Amino acid sequence: MSKKTIIIIASVIISLTLLFALSVKIAGTIFDSGDNHLISKQGVGLIEVKGMILDSKETIRQLKYFLKQDSVKAVVLRVDSPGGIVAPSQEIYAEVKKFAAKKKIIVSMGSLAASGGYYISAPATMIYANPGTITASIGVILKLSNIESLMDKIGIKSYTLKTGKYKDSGSPVRQFSEEDRAMLQSVIDNTHQQFVKAVAEGRKMPVEEIRKIADGRILSGEQAMGLKLVDRLGTLQDAIEEAGKQAGISGEPELLLPPKKKVNYLDLLVEGAEGSFNGPLGKAMGGMRMMYEAE
């Protein structure tokens, strides 16, 4: 092999190595959420849950981040949500419960912390609500629609092949039978019992006591405190000060925010496509979701 050939091969290898290293660095920049950043000063962490609970990943990421920070002894979870999908609410509940076993977590309820919004609050160390906060709504809802008549009017026929009589239960293109109703009601009832049990465990109250008010009713913050669903009436600032006290911080605690998650544009593209099917289009195609949601 000639000297010139060796130099060319070596140049190609070096170029490929540099290109690979650069690619790894760029990928790291895109996907890095900043969770390895250490906080040196003592303070109280703040996590916000706003709007519908459709996904749990970001809230769980922030809880895990603050759990790793030795200087953060307590966190305030600000909840302003009407609730949302069952599974993400349960996942956040489980993570809040784990966090509360190791560090203090104080919930501050905003204008609305109902259904799934209350569910994720239940296992916290302490719950603050404003007197006029709308909360509770301990219940499960499943909404279905039927467009069979509309399809007949516009001359569209639908055909379904299935492996069992329940496989298309809740389909918008066929009549909803009593068997369908009984089967889906049993699932809703079971999910409701999970909600009741979770609240009872989180609030350290008897299941029967929670069941008495677990009929979907909404309560004001003041009413909720009377029923022991809330510990204290107060503002976000009151919750922050309480978190500081429980963390052993003298004076007004400094509020610390989790690092922002860096944008992954590929994920945004995928989520956008998912949103098309989970939104109005998904509903029109017969999407079924059980919700911990205040109506």
261 is catalytic: no
* Pairing outcome for strands 134-136 and 104-114: parallel
Tell me which residue has tokens 């239960």. 169
286 in the Ramachandran plot: left (φ > 0), alpha (ψ -120 to 50) or beta? left
Residue 237's closest CA among 59, 92, 46, 93?
46
Q: Which among 115, 137, 169, 171 is annotated as catalytic?
A: 115
Q: Which helix (H) or strand (E) holds 244?
A: helix 236-246
* Pairing outcome for strands 126-129 and 104-114: parallel
115 is catalytic: yes
Q: Which among 68, 143, 167, 262 is annotated as catalytic?
A: 167
**Identity of the residue numbered 178:** E
CA angle 90, 92, 93 (to 5 degrees): 60
Structure-token pair, residue 264:
């992954």
Supply the residues annotated as catalytic. Answer: 115, 167
